[in-house]
Amino acid sequence: MTRDPAGKAARRGGAQGKSMRLSIRPEGSQALARLGLAALVLVGVLLIGFVVTVPLDVTRQLLFSLAVFAIGLCLRRARNRIVPLLLMGLSLVMSSRYMWWRLTETMGMGSVVDLTLGFGLVMAEVYAFVVLVLGYFQVAWPLHRRSLPLPEDQSLWPTVDVFIPTYNEPLSVVRTTVLAATVMDWPAGKLKIHLLDDGRREEFRAFCEEVGVNYVTRTNNNHAKAGNINAALKKSDGEYVAIFDCDHVPTRSFLQMSMGWFLHDARLAVVQTPHYFFSADPFERNLGTFGKVPNEGELFYGLLQDGNDAWNATFFCGSCAVIKRAPLEEVGGVAVETVTEDAHTAIRLHRAGYRSAYIPVPQAAGLATESLSAHVGQRTRWARGMAQIFRVDNPMLGRGLSLVQRICYTNAMLHFFYGLPRIIFLTAPLAFLFFGAHVIHASALMIFAYALPHLAQASLTNLRIQGGHRHLLWNEVYETALAWYILRPTLMAVFNPRLGKFNVTAKGGLVHNSYFDAQIARPYLFLLLLNLAGVVAGIVRLVMADSSGEVNTIWLNLGWTFYNMIMLGAVIATCSEQRQIRRAHRVPLEMKALLHLPDGRALACSTVDFSTGGMAIRLDQPQPVQPDTPVEIELRHRQRSQRLPAQVRHDRDAQGLSLQFGELNIEQERWLIASTFARADIWVSLWGRHERDTFLRSLSDVLRASLRGFHRLGRFVITRGRNDGNAQPAPGETA
C-alpha cells in the first residue's frame, strides 16, 4: 500500500468544504423550514376551523362522530409517542365542535330563567373546555428526565443543608424523617441536617442533641412554614437546601439522584421529586381502593409534573425537593404572600430566569392525611393559595415567564376553580325537571349527537394518556367531594387575597372507631335529596308528557340526574370514616433475614412487611415459636447486618410470625430506618404500578362505591333514629 498525501489532503479539503457548506446551508434552510411550518400550521388551523364549524344534521353528526371515534379506537393501542398527540387532536376537534354548536346554536332567549341558568351552564362548560385544552398542552410530551451522575471526585460535590420544618407534629412522626436524613449517601463534611421547630419543644431539642443534628427555632411563627424556612436560611450556609416535610422520609440516594443536574446546568434552581405516600388517604381507606386505584396525587406527580418539565415549568411542591441557595436568596427567599408558598416561590424563580427540573422517581415517602375532614382542609388551603397567586402574581401578567410557562401555571391555578362548575353540573338537569327551563335550547337528539362524542372522545384520549395514573371516573368523585369546600375560599381569594391563613395538616393521628361524618357530608346529602326530588319531578313529567320530543328531553335530564346521584353516592361513601388504629403503617418488603431464638438457634426467614414498630416475617421452614418469645431479628443490607431486639406477638400461620420491636437505641433505630424506609427500591417498586384503566372497570368500581355509600347512609339514618328515640347517641355514629 502506498501513501497518497495529496489525495488525503484533497479529501480533507473536500471534507472541510462540505463542512462549510453544511454550516452555511442551514441558515437559509431554517428560514424556509420556519416558513413551511408556519404555512402548515395555517393550513391546519383553517382545516380544523372548517371541520369544527361546518353544520351537520343529527344523522351526519352521528356518522362523523362514529368515524372519528373508530379512528381513535384503532390508534389508542399503538405504542408510539405520536399517538397521544393524534388522540388529543381528535378529541379537540370533537370538543371544539360541541362548544361551537353550544355557543352559536343553543343559547336561547326563551325566558329570564332560561337565559340565566343557560348562561351559568355554558360558562361551566367553557371552563371545562379551557382546562381540557390547557391540560392536553401541558402533557403533550412528558420529558421522562433521568438523573445525571455526580463526579467521581467527592471534593467537587457541593454542600447541602437539609431543612425539616415542624410545628405541632408528634416526635414519633418526625424522628423517622430526621434519622433517615442522617443516613443519606453524601459526604459527612458537606451535609448538615436542621430540624426547624416552630413549636419550640424541649423534647425535640433533646432528640436533636442525641442524634447529632442542628436544632433551629425562632421567637415567633410569622408566615408559618415559609417564615420558618426563611429564618433557617439566615442560620445556615450550604450551597443547596433540601426540604422535607417532617413526615416525608428521604431515601439514602435522594441527593445523589437529584444533585447531578445542578452541576450540569448553572441556571437550574429547583429539582423536584414525587411525593409518595405509604399510608392510605381517606378516599383510599374509606372506599377500599388503596393499592388498587391511583390516588389523586399520582396524576400530578406521575404525569403533570413530567409534562411541566418539558416546558421548564416544573414547580416546587414544598417537600422532597432541592433548591439552590443563591437564586432562592435572590428572589427574597420562600414567598410569604400566599399560603401556597411553594408554587409561588417557583414562579418567582422562573420569572428571574432560572430553570427547574423534575425527576419522576420517588426518593421519599410520607404519611397521607388520616381523616376526610383533614384532607378537605389541606386541599382547601391549596385551592385558596393558588387562587391568591392567580390574583396577586398572575402568571399571564408580568415579565419573565415564557408563553408555555404561563400556560402551565395558569392551568394549575384554573384547576382549583372547579368548585362552582361542579356544583352547576350536579344541579343543571334539575332546572328542567323542576321548572321546565331549557338551559340548552336544542332537541334531546341534537344534544346527544354533539355532547356524547365530545365526552366519549375526551374519555378515550384520557384513558390512553392518564390510564396508569388516574382512573377515569374517580376524578369525578374526588372533585365532587371537594367542590363545595373549595368554592367559597377560591372565590373569596380572588376578591381579597389576604383572607385565609396557613394551617398545618395533621399527620400520624388515629381513627379509633368507624363513624359517618355527617358534618362533611351535609352539602352532598342536600344535593342528593335535591336530585332525588328531581327524579320524582321527572317521573311526574313523564306521566304528563304530550309529545315524543318532551319525553326524550325528560329522559335525557333523568339520565344526567341518575349519573349525578351515582357520583354523590360515591362521595357519601368517602364520608363514612373507617377505623385506622395503626400508629405505625406497614409497608410491604421482601428481604432475607435471620430470626435468633433464645436457645441460640437461627431460623432463616424473609420479611413480609415492616413499620417503625414491628415486622411480619415468614420462616423458610415451619417452626413453632410461642407468642411473647423474646427474639432478635437480623437484617442485612449493603453487606452489613445488625440484630434488633423484638418479641413475637402472634403467629399468622405455620410459617408466618408478627414481631414487635423492643427498646431500640438510636443506632439500632437508625439501622432499621437505613435498611427499610431509606431504601429507594421499595418506593420505586410500589409507585405507579396500577393496572391501566378501562371505562367499564371505572364504571363498575364507582357504581359499587356509590351503592356502598347509600348502604352506609341508610345504616347511619337508622342508627341515628334509634339513638334519637333512646336519647343516647351510639359511639362512632355521631358526626
Q: What are the phi and psi torsion angles at 563 (to 5°)?
A: -60, -45
Q: In one letter, which amino acid is 123?
A: M
Q: What are the phi and psi torsion angles at 697 (to 5°)?
A: -65, -45
Strand partners, 154: none
Euclidean distance between CA atoms 381 and 720, whole angstroms:
32
- Active-site residue identified among 161, 197, 198, 247: 198
Sign of the torsion formed by the C-alpha atoms of 180, 182, 186 and 191: positive
For residue 353, give the nearest of 309, 402, 291 by alpha carbon.
Answer: 402
Helix (H, G, I), strand (E, B) or coil at 165: strand
Task: Respond yes or no: is residue 681 known to be catalytic.
Answer: no
Q: Are 561 and 431 in contact (CB under 8 A)?
A: no
Helix (H, G, I), strand (E, B) or coil at 545: coil
- The DSSP bridge pattern shows strands 214-216 and 160-166 to be unpaired
Q: Are 266 and 257 in contact (CB under 8 A)?
A: no
Cell representation of residue 276: 409518595
Euclidean distance between CA atoms 634 and 594, whole angstroms:
5
Q: How many CB atoms lie within 10 A of CB 38?
A: 10
689: Cα within 13 Å, side-chain hemisphere: 10
Helix (H, G, I), strand (E, B) or coil at 127: helix
For residue 142, give the nearest of 350, 316, 311, 271 by alpha carbon.
Answer: 311
Helix (H, G, I), strand (E, B) or coil at 387: helix
Question: Which alpha helices (DSSP H) does 202-361 contain, by range?
Answer: 202-211, 224-233, 254-258, 260-264, 282-287, 296-299, 305-310, 325-330, 341-351
Euclidean distance between CA atoms 640 and 100, whole angstroms:
67
Question: Which alpha helices (DSSP H) does 54-105 contain, by range?
Answer: 58-75, 82-105
Task: Respond yes or no: is residue 198 known to be catalytic.
Answer: yes
Order of all β-strands in the sheet with 214-216 = 214-216, 191-197, 160-166, 240-243, 321-324, 268-272, 355-358
Q: Are 691 and 463 in contact (CB under 8 A)?
A: no
- Distance spanning both ends of the chain, measured CA to CA: 96
- Active-site residue identified among 247, 281, 306, 342: 342
Strands of 363-479, DSSP E: 364-366
Residues designated catalytic: 198, 342
